[in-house]
Amino acid sequence: MILEEVFNDRNLSFVEKYFGNDSVEGSPQAGKRGEGFKQFLTEFFKAFPDMHTTIEHMVAENNLVMVFLNGSGTHKGEFHGIPPTNKPVNIRSADLYRIEDGIIVGHWDVVDQLNLLKQTGALLSEKEN
C-alpha cells in the first residue's frame, strides 16, 4: 500500500512517483504540489521519527479515495514552532485523494490539530489553566 510505504517506511520516492507535478494540494501545511507535500513529510518525520500510521478506513468511488489515518509516535523534534516535548502523541486525519491515470492529482486533508496541540502541551486544557 502506497500510504504505508510513505508514512511507515518513510519512502518519499513514492511521493515523487505518485504525486503529479500539477497536483492540487489542499492542505495549507503541506505547501503546493507533490514537492510541498514531500517537504512537509520530511519535517514531520523529523518531529515524530517513530510515528507509525495505520489505515482505519478507506472508501473509493470513481477517481476519489477517502482514507482515515491514525498515527502514534513521540514528539522528538520541532513541529510548527513547537519545541520537542518527548511526549507520546496520537494524530488522526481524514485524507481525500483524487486520482487520474494512477497519479494523485489532488489531495485534501482534515487533521485533528487541536488534539495534537493539547498532547504536546502547546495548548492547555481548561482544567490546566
pLDDT at 46: 96
All structural domains of the chain, each given as residue ranges with its CATH number in brackets, are: 2-128 (3.10.450.50)
Residue range 78-103, pLDDT digits in tens: 998 899 999 999 999 999 999 999 88
**pTM for this entry:** 0.81
pLDDT at 58 over 90: yes
Tell me the CA distances in angstroms from 73 to 18, 89, 90, 95, 104, one per residue in order. 25, 6, 7, 19, 26
Cβ(87)–Cβ(93) under 8 Å?
no
The percentage of residues in the chain with a pLDDT greater than 70, rounded to a whole number, is 83
DSSP tag of 129: -
**What residue type is 5 in one-letter code?**
E
Q: Which helix (H) or strand (E) holds 119?
A: helix 113-120
Averaged pLDDT, 110-128: 82
Averaged confidence pLDDT in the chain: 86
pLDDT at 116 over 70: yes
Cβ(19)–Cβ(34) under 8 Å?
yes
